Copies of this chain bind each other. A is one copy, B any other.
Amino acid sequence: MTIEVNPRNASENNLEALERGRAYCAAHHPHLEAALADRYDARLPGFSQSLVEWAYGRHYSRGGVDAKTRQLATIAALTALGGQTAPQLKINIEHSLAVGATEREIVEIIWQMAVYGGLPAAINGLNAAMDVFDAQNEQ
């Protein structure tokens, strides 16, 4: 059985996964779990908890690489993946600015994707970034 692998760590880490996710969200996106629960949980039980546990408890809060690099790498992937990820790309551009990435760093990473995902992906990504920058500068 797998339970011997890491017996003490297991329940602790499990507790930490959702807790770490919630702590991360409390600091960075305070109303996220409640908003997700309102919108999705009646139809898909446990959705909000699962997302917070996985994305924030099991990824963004891991350490091992700094938050800004993690965010810029996410932007790279969402740009390269293209259309299906447009809403998430804008959110992650906001998150990248929030953890200290500059506008220049963000467009550099997006434009780099012209090499790997093609010009349409990169240009659509640049347009998303400029929409976010313009919206923030208007505030």
Contacts and interface: CB of A to CB of B under 8 A. Distances in A.
What does DSSP make chain A's interface, helix, strand, loop or mixed? helix
Contacts of A4: 34
A65 B109 contact: yes
B83 A80 contact: no
Assembly stoichiometry (copies): 6
A65 B30 CA distance: 29
Nearest to A89: B120
**Which of A17, A32, A77, A126: most chain B Cβ within 10 A?**
A77
Contacts of A10: 18, 49
5 contacts: A6-B49, A47-B111, A77-B116, A82-B83, A88-B120
Interface of A: 1-6, 9-11, 13-15, 17-19, 22, 25-26, 30-34, 37, 39-41, 43-55, 58-59, 62, 64-65, 68-70, 72-88, 103-105, 107-109, 111-121, 123-124, 126, 130, 133
Given A40-B130, A53-B58, A64-B108, 8 more contacts: A1-B22, A2-B52, A13-B46, A39-B130, A50-B54, A54-B115, A64-B105, A83-B84
